[in-house]
């Protein structure tokens, strides 16, 4: 069994990534969160005030050599409906697989995204053609 120097690993993580929540540190160094929390509290680490522009929900830590820096805010992710709409705007029929490939980002359920778009007033159509589940955006006909 290998003995880890958890304090050194936490310090190295904070040095490389700046201040972070205990869960982020634990995931980054592949350690149990409770052990990271114990290490942060036992320390050479101590809590410090939130730097200007920092995430107000985060607890910032420092030691003799590390000073807290602002944690970059997470980029706002585009929701599943908007990602699907971006694909369907070309007016063509797209299979579920095409939508997921072209939409990028994490997997989502296309039927839920289509439902969200319908609630927003978009005329999203669905059919099974040749064994494929296809979606398209039906344009409203001018009167």
CA distances in angstroms from 94 to 36, 64, 99, 108, 130, listed in the order given: 46, 57, 6, 15, 13
Q: CB of 70 within 8 A of CB of 51? A: yes
User: Does residue 138 or residue 56 have the better pLDDT?
Assistant: 138
User: Does residue 69 or residue 132 have the better pLDDT?
Assistant: 132
- Could you tell me how many residues make up the chain? 143
Bridge partners, 61 (sequence order) = 47
pTM (2 d.p.): 0.46
Domains of the chain and CATH, by start: 6-62 (1.10.10), 80-137 (1.10.10)
Q: CB of 110 within 8 A of CB of 94? A: no
pLDDT at 96 over 60: yes
pLDDT number for residue 7: 83
- Residues 68-96, mean pLDDT to the nearest whole number: 78
At residue 1 the predicted structure's pLDDT band, cuts being 50, 70 and 90, is: low
């Amino acid at each position: 069994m290998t003995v880890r120097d958890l304090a050194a690993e936490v310090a190295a993580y904070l040095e490389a990534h700046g201040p972070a929540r205990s869960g982020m540190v634990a995931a980054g160094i592949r350690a149990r969160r409770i052990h990271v929390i114990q290490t942060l509290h036992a320390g050479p680490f101590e809590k410090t005030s939130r730097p200007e522009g920092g995430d107000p929900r985060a607890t910032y830590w420092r030691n003799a050599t590390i000073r807290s820096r602002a944690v970059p805010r997470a980029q706002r992710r585009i929701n599943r409906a908007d990602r699907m709409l971006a694909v369907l705007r070309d007016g063509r029929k797209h299979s579920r697989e095409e939508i997921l490939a072209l939409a990028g980002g994490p997997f989502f359920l296309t039927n839920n995204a289509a439902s969200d778009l319908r609630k927003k007033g978009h005329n999203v159509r669905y059919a099974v053609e040749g064994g494929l589940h296809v979606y398209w955006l039906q344009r409203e006909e001018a009167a």
